[in-house]
Every structure is written in C-alpha cells, then in structure tokens.
Amino acid sequence: MLSQDFELMKPWCALQPYQDMTRPLTNYFISTSHNTYLFNSQVMGDSNREAYNRVLRAGCRAVELDCYDGENGQPIVKHAYTLIVQKRLGDLFVYLQNVPFREYEYAKANYVCYHSPNVAENHFGRAVRDEPACVVQQTAKTLCRLYPSGIRQDSSNPDPILPWNFGVQMVALNFQKYDKIMALCHGKFSDNGGCGYVLKPNYLIDASRAKFNPFDHQTKPSDFSENVFEQPQTLIITIMSAQFLPRSSSKANDVPDPYVEVSTHGIPCDQQAQRTCVVHNNGLNPIWKETFRFHIDFPQICLVLFTVYDHDVLSKNDRLAYFCLPMKTMQTGFRHMRLRSKDNGLTDSTLFVHVEIEGYEEEDDCATRALSIKKFDPAKYDSIIKSHQCEKNYDKSSGTMESAAILKMFKRSVSKYGVYYTKYVGDGDSKTFPVLSKIVPYPGKVIEKIEDLNHFSKRMKRGLETIKREHGRKKLSDGKTIGGKNRLSGRNIIRLQMTFASTIRKCKHDLNLLFERSWAIFWHKYSTNNDPHHDYCSIDWCGYLKSVRDGTSYDHTSHAMPRPVLDAIKPVFESLCSRESLARVVNASSQNANESFHSLVWLMSPKHKASSGTTFEIACCLTIIIFNEGYFGIGDVFNAMCCYQGHYTDQAMIHFDISRLHTESKENNRQKRKETGHVLLKNNGKEENSGIIDDNDQTNDDDDDGDPTDKATSEDHDETSDSDEQITDNDHRTSSDDESLDDDDYGYYNSKDKRRWVEEE
C-alpha cells in the first residue's frame, strides 16, 4: 500500500521533468525565493551561504542577491540598511558552482538573459484591480517578478495564488518561513519532476487569443471563451484515515485530536475548503471516511492542499502536517500520501484517501505515458521514444472531435472541391449543428439543417417506453397494467415506431398530410364499432374505410387498442405529432448512406480496439473504394502495387461483391418486411399486401392465461427479441451513437457483432 504505485501524485509527474522544456522562460512559473540570504527573521540574522544551498535544494530556481560595491572593487552581498553580516559575492558563487544540483542541467539549458520588471506586492494589487486583463497580457510577454511588500517584517508571505492566476512567473517567497503559503509553493513546484519550472496553462501563454481574466470567474459556473482549453471537473475526495501523525510541537506531551482540511487553490471560483470532524485523542490511526466534492472549473491551475490540524479548544488549532499537489497530477482510486512536516520535511505520517474525478479525461500524450517506465526501464523508454512516430492530431477532448472535424470538412469544401455544402443531415440532439451555425464556414451562406428521420422516429419508441416504465405494474382504469397482450407490449411499441417512421417517409413533403397520417395511427387504434375515428386514415390501408367503400361489414374489436392504454400514451403523440414538432421532419432525410459507410470502416478497424492512425487511414481508403465501386475496385490497387492483377484476385473480388449485394438485398427485404410488420407475425395467414396498421392488428400475441408471472415472463421475452431486432437494425440503418442512454441502442457499431473481416459464406 505504501509503494510508489499507490501514491496520490502520478509518479511520472513527480519523478522527472516531463513538460516541454524548450519554451521561452515567460511560459513557465518559476520557483523563486525572496531574501534568500536569510535564515530566520527579516532584519536580524546571518547572511549564510547555507541559506542559498537550502532554497536551491528545495527546488527554487531564482534567488535574490543584493549586490553592493565593496573593498578593492569586489562586489558584496548585503541587505541594505539592516544588521545582516555582509558576505563577499565571490563566496556565494564559489559555493553555487560546487553543489551538484540534480536539475542543474535544465536550469543551465534554459538560462537566457532576461530583463524582468520587479513589482512590489502592493503595486501589483493596484494593477490587477485597475486593469486585470492588461496584467495577463503583460505577463505573457514579459518575465515578471513579484516581491513581498516591505511591511512584512516578520517574513510572512503574500498569497501567491493571485499573481500565479495572472501569469506572474516569479512570485518571490520567503523560503525560510514555514507557513501555509510555502506549502502551496512546494505543492505547485512538485510537478514536472520538482525541477522548479512549471509550464503555464495555455490561456496564460496565448493570452491575446484566450482573453482570459481571472476576475471574470468569481462565481460558478464559468463561461469561458473556446480558446481557454479547460475541462471543468468534479473532484470527489474521501478522507479515509491517517497513520502515525506527529505531535504538535507546542504541546509535545498531548495526544493530538486530528482533523483534516481539504482546500483547493486556483482561480477565484475554485477556492474552496472543507474539513472532517475531529477524532479525539488518536494520532496513531484516526479514521474519518468523510467524502467531499469540489467542482473545479480550472483544473489546470488548481492546487489541492491537505492539512492535518490538531484541534484545540483553548488555543489556536495547530498545523501538524500537510500535503499539496496540482490537481492535474492526482491519480484516482485509493491512494496514500506521505505527509510533509511544516518545514516541508518528509515524515512517516501518511494520509489514506479515495479520489474520484468526474468529467475526467486522461490526456493521451504518448511521451508522457512512456515517462512512467523511464526510471525502471530506461532502455525500453529510449527505444519507445526513438521509434515512436506520434500520430496524435487532435488536442482537445474527444467530445468536441466530431464538430471540429465537420467544421474542417465544411471549411475546405471550396478549396478542395469547389462546392459549398449547404445542407446538413443530423439528428436533433447533435452538438455539431450549433457549432456549424455559430462559426459560419462560408461567410454570407446559410447552412440548412435537415432532420434525420430515423432519429426522430425513435423518439416515439423512447416516449412510449418511458410511459410504460412510469406506469410499471400500476393498474389502469380497466383494472389491468399498461403492458401485455394487445396493449403496450414491447412489440407494439416497435410497431408504433415503425409505422410512425414509414408515415414520415411517405408524407414528409406535406406537413398537413404528415400531421393527419401521424394522428391516424392513434385514432385508428382508438376506434371502436360504436365510436369510429377514421377521419385521418388513408383508404390505402384502413380496413374500415375500405369496408365503407365496398359496403362490407367491419369489426374493430380484433385490433383496437384498449382506450385506457391509448389515453395513457396520448401525451407522446401530442408532443411528437404536433405541427411544430413534425415541421422538423418535413423534407427530412436519413443518414443511412453514412451509416453504411461507417459499418464498413468499423468492420475493418473495429471501434472497440485501438488501431494506429495508419491502419485507420487504410481502412478508410479501402472503404471509399468499396463503397463507391465495390470490391472489384480494389483490383486497381493491386495493379498499382504489384503491376499485376491475377485471375484469382478478380474471382475473389467478384465473389465478395456478389455476397455483399446478396447480404444487402437480404437486409433490405428484412427491413421492408419489418416495416410492414410482417417479420414479427407468427400466424400471418392473410393477404400479403394489406396495410400497415390493420396488419399489425392481426398479430396473435402469445396466449395469456392471466397468470401475472407468466405475463411477466412472456413480456420479458418479448422485449428481448425486440431489442435484438433493434440492434441488427441499428447496425445498418441508424446511428444512435450519441444516445447511449438506451441500453439496447448500440449505434451503427455493435459490440455484440461477431462478424469478422472474412466474408466467406
């Protein structure tokens, strides 16, 4: 449990520098000390070169030397107007050169001569109050050093969080003071291997584009420009227990009464603190098991500080130990941290926690990942880095990938093909179209959105399923539940959806007709012999209208759905089949061609398996050929590659094409049969071409003797077979990738699909 693998901080962040170390110095936060020559208080004390040694070892990369002219033209270091013993500058330099610092190579490699403005704490306070945005722009261009105001005679430290938020690279802190501020400083610079340089988030580097102002984010939720690449996250921390806590230095013979405070330090809206209750008289193994949630809008710049206090009713609560780290370096799961003493020394005390991060997407930087093995297997690390040709071509989260790709395709259409894409077929909930309409790819041209009717008709199914779920086993006014034979069974839900889909397909060019025919589905079912409602029906399929025309008799009882059931599902029709709602599917289209293309791609490069960019590109190219010209078109590729296309290759390709056409026609037939309800019929004895709805009504559901368990079983079975139908259906026709809420919707890629990239029969 105490091994490095279980530490809270990602080992590859803690063990060695992993960030890009070749940027201008202005792009980094730099660990900086103030009054470096001091050991203890500000005005009294020895100016000791050991002090320099200490701060440099503590990771500090910018020290302070107050130089004056001394005897014989030699510079000396002293603190002006104070009682500090003067040192010859030469003494310090000699010392600096002799100490072999671990990170010296980085420090040396990055050494550039900079002129930096030195800003006093109180002056900075005024600047950010008056012109906050300007300060961010300034620190993006100029190296800036902030030093504590002279009023702080006790070496207390200013809060560095505010200047860091504004991109100030060097916030000079009194390293000799062991306060909470220094805890934050050690936490911040524990990142990047503790080398003393930490890369700023992009919005403080590319400040002119990001237009970032920390003061705009005092309260949640934050609304930031898209050039601020932040992913808000929720940090869920459970403080489990602590082990071997130290005793308070001021009350050495008193057993501590510990409690833990978790605080977050970053942009103003992310400043939060929560604490556990107090465990009395137990410093050995106190247990809390308390969970805290922190919603963090700017994780990249946020620090998380764990502080263990000794509760004291009479005096001030004592800080016993702490641990601080950047939120981005936290690992999830059960973790422990080795607590630091107040002076940042290692202790044997540990804190055991559980961490969850919601909205968390692991950055997929191959080089970063490989770093985790650098220490244990340097040879392997080297070979990975040397041989790795990175194919990463997208930096933001995967959720924004689709819209970014579509936008790119639209933008290049003119230069590439000389055309404007003016129509976009998409589903209603897609996040893509809002992006297209917000960022106009063609100035002055409007892109028309065309609804995908498959997605739209699925709302019928979802709406009905919701009604059914909400009713559960509740009895309707006729004393029966909503489901069951000839009621809202799983099959009938599918049938209603299919009928709705085919109605849209047939009437999509005429809103009035579409409205009437959609409602006909409902009213036709609602009709009884005493109270017929066939005003909206079409004589093409309505048995009642046919019998009126032919003067024959017609009996509703065999197929009408019970009115209590229809009353219960009427809200679904009211919301879906209003004119406003149906107006969206007027002239609707479908994404079937896309789905067909996709299913070929995923067949060769399965979605659930990682494949390299090269493999994926080959799969796409082959798909384009097969989709447009059939497998035979691949023959040309063989010709180009081998200058020869053999007889058997031809035969194989012809075979593939025939089998593909065969499969497709089978699929089409199956689809057609299903749309007309035939495939679900068990006793389909009558005319082959009778209408959709009446046809459904002839379905003979399994015999139901009224036994509730029996009913439940048959219904369960019912639903299983339905969802199977849906899966195969989705595989070829409709995308529900963005609707993963439905368990039975697998999208066009179906993980249950056992087909392999072999099309032998």
Residues that bind Zn ion (CB under 5 A): 366, 390, 392, 524, 534, 537, 542, 544
Report the residue number, 425 or 521, with the smaller CB distance to Zn ion: 521
DSSP labels, 42-59: SSSS---HHHHHHHHHTT
Q: Which amino acid is at 464?
A: L
Q: Closer to Zn ion by CB, 143 or 542: give it.
A: 542
Question: CA 752, CA 761: separation in Å to the nearest integer?
Answer: 20
Residue 511 in tokens: 């809103």
Q: Tell me whether residue 537 or residue 560 sits nearer to Zn ion (CB atom).
A: 537
Shortest Å, Cβ 544 to Zn ion: 5
Least CB distance to Zn ion at residue 212 (A): 28
The most distant pair of C-alpha atoms in the chain lies apart, rounded to whole Å, by 128
Number of C-beta neighbours around residue 381 at 10 A:
17
DSSP code of residue 247: P
With beta carbons less than 8 A apart as the criterion, state whether 179 and 155 touch: no
Least separation in angstroms between CB 457 and Zn ion? 20
β-pair partners for 160: none
Minimum CB–partner distance for residue 366 and Zn ion (Å) = 3
Grouping H, G, I as helix, E, B as strand and the rest as coil, residue 173 is strand
Q: Which residues of 538-576 are buried (b: 16+ CB within 10 A; e: fewer)?
A: beebbbbbbeeeeeeebebeebbbbeebbebbeebbeeb
CB 513 → Zn ion: shortest distance, Å?
A: 15
**Shortest CB 390 distance to Zn ion, Å:** 3
Of 288 and 544, the one with the shorter C-beta distance to Zn ion is: 544
Please report how close the Cβ of residue 388 comes to Zn ion at its closest, in angstroms.
6
From the CB of residue 618, how many other CB atoms can be counted at a distance below 10 Å? 14
Compare residues 471 and 533 and give the one whose CB is closer to Zn ion.
533
Query: With respect to Zn ion, which residue has the nearer C-beta, 527 or 736?
Result: 527
In 3-state terms the chain splits into helix, strand, coil percentages (rounded to 5) of 45, 15, 40
Nearer to Zn ion, 522 or 544 (CB): 544
In whole angstroms, the minimum distance from the beta carbon of 570 to Zn ion comes to 17
Strand partners, 87: 77
> What is the C-alpha separation between 308 and 257, in angstroms, rounded?
10
> What is the rounded CA–CA span in Å between residue 101 and residue 95?
12
Nearer to Zn ion, 276 or 527 (CB): 527
Alpha carbon of residue 478 to chain centroid:
48
The whole-angstrom separation of Cα 625 and Cα 634 is 7
Nearer to Zn ion, 287 or 539 (CB): 539
Q: What are the angstrom distances between the C-alpha of 485 and each of 474, 699, 710?
A: 16, 10, 12
Comparison of 389 and 415: residue with beta carbon closer to Zn ion: 389
Residue 308 C-alpha from the chain's centroid: 32
**CB of 100 vs Zn ion, minimal distance in Å:** 34
C-alpha span between 50 and 328 (Å, rounded): 34
CB of 677 to Zn ion, least distance (A): 15
CB of 502 vs Zn ion, minimal distance in Å: 16
Across-strand partners of 357?
235
Residue 617's CB: how many other CB atoms inside 10 A? 13
Cβ at position 524, least distance to Zn ion in Å: 4
Token pair 């900075």: residue: 124
Q: What is the DSSP letter of 351?
A: E
- Minimum Å gap between C-beta 381 and Zn ion is 14
Q: Do 259 and 292 meet the contact criterion of CB atoms below 8 Å apart?
A: no
Compute the radius of gyration of the chain from its Cα atoms: 36
Question: Which CB sits closer to Zn ion, 107 or 366?
Answer: 366
Closer to Zn ion by CB, 250 or 547: give it.
547
Question: Among residues 56 and 542, whose Cβ is nearest to Zn ion?
Answer: 542
Q: Which is nearer to Zn ion, 321 or 370 (CB)?
A: 370
Residue 163 or 691 having the CB closest to Zn ion:
691
Termini Cα distance of the chain = 54
CB neighbours (10 Å) of residue 147? 22
Query: Would you call 719 helix, strand, or coil by DSSP?
Result: helix
Residues 210 and 202 sit within 8 Å (Cβ to Cβ): yes
* In the complex, minimum distance from the CB of residue 18 to Zn ion, in angstroms, rounded to a whole number: 14
Least distance from C-beta 290 to Zn ion, angstroms? Answer: 40
Tally the residues of the chain: 761
Amino acid identity, residue 365?
Answer: D
CA 252 to chain centre: 48
Instruction: Provide the token pair at 695.
Output: 């046809």
